[in-house]
Amino acid sequence: MAITVYELIITGANVVSYRMEILDNFMTQFECMYTADQTKQLQEMTRNFLNKKDHSAEVINDLRTVLRFHEHRYYVMDDPLISDAEYDKLFKALEAIELAHPELITSQSPTQRVGSSLNQSFNTVQHIVPMLSLANSYNEDDLVDWDRKAREAAGIADIEYCIEPKFDGASISLIYENDVLTRGTTRGNGVEGEDITTNIRQVRSIPLSAAFSDFGVQQVEIRGEVMMSKKAFNRYNEMLAGLNLAPLANARNGASGSLRMKDPKEVAKRGLEAFLYNISYHTPTNDKEAVRKGQAFLDTHSGSLTLLWQLGFRSPEKEKVVVKGIKAVIDHVGEFEALRDDLPYEVDGMVIKVNDLELQEKLGMTTHHPRWAIAFKFKARQATSKLRSIEYQVGRTGSITPVAKIEPVQLAGVTVGSISLFNEDIIKDKDLMIGDTVLVERAGDVIPYIVKSLAELRTGKEQRVIFPTSCPVCATRLFKEEGEAVWRCVNIECPAQVVEKMIHFVSKNAMDIKSFGEANIRKFYELGLLKDIPGIYKLDYGAVSKLEGFGKKSITNLQEAIETSKNQPLNRLIFGLGIRFVGETTAKVLSNKVHHLLDLQNYTVEQLQQLEDIGVKVAGSIVHFFQNQQNGLMLRELEALGVKMTNEKRAVVHEGALTGKNFLFTGTLNKLKRSEAEELVEQKGGKLLGSVSSKLNYLVVGDDAGSKFEKAKKINTIRIINEDEFLSLVQA
């Protein structure tokens, strides 16, 4: 007995220390591609750049080197040495030099990742070496079997293996020629893929250039996986939720769905990362000395990962392990599986590769798979359960969300009993019937979802799902807009919506009224102490103090939190109003535009569409909100109750080169973002107008200018200028 306990402790301790070791590796101490001396020197250069105001064009290369260094620290090492604001400052300094000297811009400059144009179509291109898939193994026996065959073919007693995570993302292939990234492709059918270079350039951990020539490599094809980290995935889903859009099902879909997007800017928003794990092809340069240097790395798979790491790629250098013999492989994959949920990204198994590249060559491949590598798949975090019923929840915009109630099951450490189904189409697509056996999956800390129903297990007693035609709370007839998947209750007085709106209003990213959570809102609503958003500022504290659980202290806290919220910045108030499609970013754009919230009542759909990132759908929803009389009354009441509706930051009047002049922009600018140009106008004392009129002094015309341009041409007091002319006006 005593011995068993002792063993348990030892095993426990081993597991813990191993865990620490691997997780520590993800932290800082890992060897960087920059030496300590280089790092010191680059830090000094950074400080110098940050301390200086203006930078001459001569420093352009140093500035780029410094920016690349910090990108590497941030995106590859995950260990930044400067703040985001400092990075932005350096980035802006480079942009300013490039603005003044467009002839110095190169495609590898850190400023050149995000292009301004949309992808039209993706050309089909051939991979240099076909992209193979791997044979799978699921248990110890499969691995032993695979190793035996490899040993027999190789005639070796113990093979050296390199083990690395099997990254669960979307596979890509990159080509670098003469140190420059020239092509990025999807896997496609393995022989041909699609050229997605513009989107690949948005992935900040992929260097736009890398010094392969120092290692005697002229052309190289590299394989890897584009991933969305768990953090980026959750952040992106929170953003979607803010816009009342259905979340991505899992991080893999998030990554693969992004590769073929039309708009590279959208791709940039997903915060993608890339792991590069294989060099599939390379040609030598004429520099014999460099080739010899490279060869030292390129003899083994593990060496090639080190080389990639040295060149600034996020290769699995930290994660890889080299062992001899299959027994050690089996031990390692078991230990690594236990860490799965602690990793910052999703893995679905491990890949075991013969380390010696000459031996890889000798082993060759079957018709489908290389014999020198195998995937070991971790147990799927799936379970089956019974679909008991479907409930329908009413959201703050009236959206009806079906929620599957299943027999509770254990999945990756949590009990799952409710699963959101988002909309009616999902019920149809997955062919769900009440009573069905359903396959449920949950990856990492991602929300669980129903993969499918197992129709073959039906008994005949299952019942069809009948989607409601009226609101489950207020019985108003449901309505679905053309082209939408979501049914809505259109009664804005529907109690469910009213409550959800208040919950959103007080939430952390909106008015952030601490100690006024969901539970209190529901309780106060049910008791008749609160009926709408203005009611928050009219609470009868006397009545509240009579409720159980509301002592003096908690009432004071609540009162203070509510009082403080009156002065929240305007963007938080706008977000808190829960206008459909208006997330935190749009709320900021809107708040920057107006002096007083009610100014938005005067905006038309066309005017709103001129603002950054606001399309016709969002603009329509904003106009709809502000032209609704009840909303107008609510806003006036809020203001009377002391809620601040002005944008103080904007109210400051600047004096400068543009004082007394009115500006308007049309079309796409190339050097500045629209919002930056508008900010410049205001900083220099100018004013922005919403439309073309005789009050307008300057119309700044970018690419693809539309009707404003035509209209302005007819008024001869308006000066029509391009972006460069605008910039020289500003600088005058």
Site residues for ligand IVH per CB under 6 A: 132-134, 164, 166-167, 171, 223, 225, 277-278, 351, 370, 373, 375
The 3-class secondary structure across 561-627, one letter per residue, is HHHHHCCCCHHHHHHHCCCCCCCHHHHHHHHHHCCEHHHHHHCCHHHHHCCCCCCHHHHHHHHHHHH
User: Which is nearer to ligand IVH, 69 or 277 (by Cβ)?
Assistant: 277
Tell me how far, at minimum, the Cβ of 223 lies from ligand IVH, in Å: 6
- Provide the minimum distance between the beta carbon of 281 and ligand IVH in the complex, in angstroms, as a whole number: 12
Residue 414 β-bridge partners: 411
Do residues 340 and 347 lie in contact, with contact meaning Cβ atoms separated by under 8 Å? Answer: yes
> Is the Cβ of residue 297 or residue 726 nearer to ligand IVH in the bound state?
297
- Which residue from 360, 352, 419, 356 is spatially nearest to 385, judged by alpha carbons? 419
Strand partners of residue 665:
700
Those residues with Cβ within 8 angstroms of residue 475's Cβ, 6 or more apart along the chain or in another chain: none
Task: Check: CB of residue 402 under 8 Å from CB of residue 379.
Answer: no
Which stretch of DSSP H or E encloses residue 719? strand 719-722
- For 425, counting Cβ atoms within 10 Å of its Cβ (0-12 exposed, 13-18 middle, 19+ buried), the class is exposed
How would you write 506-559 as a 3-class SS string? HCCCCCCCCCCCHHHHHHHHHCCCCCCHHHHHHCCHHHHHCCCCCCHHHHHHHH
For residues 392 and 182, give the distance between their C-alpha atoms in angstroms, rounded to a whole number: 51
Q: Which residues does residue 160 pair with via DSSP β-bridges, in sequence order?
A: 324
Which of residues 132 and 720 has its CB atom nearest to ligand IVH in the complex?
132
Q: Which residue is nearest to ligand IVH (CB)?
A: 171
Shorter beta-carbon distance to ligand IVH: residue 164 or 195: 164
Interatomic CA distance for residues 318 and 329, integer angstroms: 17
Give least dist CB 348 to ligand IVH, A: 8
In whole angstroms, give the CA distance from residue 579 to residue 623: 10
| CB 351 to ligand IVH: min, Å | 4
* Alpha carbon distance 306, 124 (integer Å): 31
713 is catalytic: no
Residues found in the chain:
732
- Report the Cα–Cα distance between both ends of the chain, in Å, rounded: 87
Helix (H) or strand (E) holding 678: helix 674-683
Q: Which is nearer to ligand IVH, 137 or 197 (CB)?
A: 137
Alpha carbon distance 493, 499 (integer Å) = 10
- Contacts (Cβ under 8 Å, ≥6 apart) of 52: none
Nearer to ligand IVH, 154 or 365 (CB): 365
Minimum separation from the CB atom of position 346 to ligand IVH (A): 10
Measured from the CB atom, the residue of 166 and 572 that comes closer to ligand IVH is 166
Determine the Cα–Cα distance for residues 398 and 401; give it in Å rounded to an integer.
9
Q: Which is nearer to ligand IVH, 183 or 580 (CB)?
A: 183
- The nearest distance, CB 277 to ligand IVH, in angstroms, is 4
Q: 239 near 272, Cβ under 8 Å?
A: no
Catalytic annotation, pick one of 53, 92, 166, 593:
166
The span from the CA of 63 to the CA of 59, in Å, is 6
In the complex, the smallest distance separating the C-beta of residue 279 from ligand IVH, rounded to whole angstroms, is 11
Bridge-based pairing state of the strands 321-324 and 160-167: antiparallel
CB nearer ligand IVH, residue 133 or residue 659: 133
Pick 73 or 166: Cβ nearer ligand IVH = 166
Q: Which residues pair with 222 in a beta bridge?
A: 174, 279
Burial 83-118 (b: 16+ CB within 10 A, else e): eeebbeebbebbbebbbeeeeebeebbbbebeeeee
Residue 373 or 446: the one with the smaller Cβ distance to ligand IVH is 373
Catalytic residues: 166
